[in-house]
Amino acid sequence: MVIGGGNSGGTATKRVNIVDLKATTPTYTAAASLNYSRMHCSAVILPDRTVFVCGGSGSNESKSNARKAGEIYDPSTDTWTVTASATVERLYHSVALLLPDGRVLTGGGNPVRRNNELRLEIYSPPYMSQTRPTITSAPSSVTYGQQITINTPQASNIRWASLVRPSATTHSCDTEQRLVDCTINSASGSSLTVTLTSNKNLAPPGWYMLFVTDQSKVPSVAKWIQVALSV
């Protein structure tokens, strides 16, 4: 997914393009445009499968044209919804990181070169005010293709179990960001059995946030789990 950006003259765009890497011949196709043109914005995949975009500016590194309002993309409807506004401008060299509780931490930026922004803000997506499923226990490590048990009182109402890799953002690009589904094999009273992908390219070894998400697309607080070559 490529979001916003700008030309050498410093004019930002609203354009959004998405590539489906499962296609036989993957190509970028246009998606719904942003509500606001943005350069140097940040994008975060949320555990409910939407994408939160924040920060940036309508022109180059202009603080006066900073985009304080966030917006959320829903791939199921190809729509963008404007959400809460920040109080701090986030321009070049800013970051946005998903936290294990499902909120998003924003920080950084240099509104004037060599004048670094040190304040932090936290955005709470709409699901934070909903009744959320819980993970009471889960393994601390897992290997490829392994079946594990996740204990949750809401087992019968869980729609997805997923691994979200910690962010590593730089220059409005996060090459570490990924959400990987775990196949739900069965659900009984208070537990799920799920199987991790066997594809190391989809989920490289390392630490992940394990979320369960209910039928209303409301996610739990995450548990940290390590994907290892062997356990």
Would you name the residues annotated as active-site residues? 92
CA of 99: how far to CAs of 3, 122, 164, 206, 222, in Å?
A: 22, 9, 10, 17, 9
Six-digit token string for 195? 């199987």
Residue linked to tokens 């087992």: 155
Half-sphere exposure of 141 (CA within 13 A, CB side): 7
Sign of CA dihedral 103, 39, 14, 21: negative
What are the φ/ψ torsions at residue 126 (nearest 5 degrees)? Answer: -55, -30
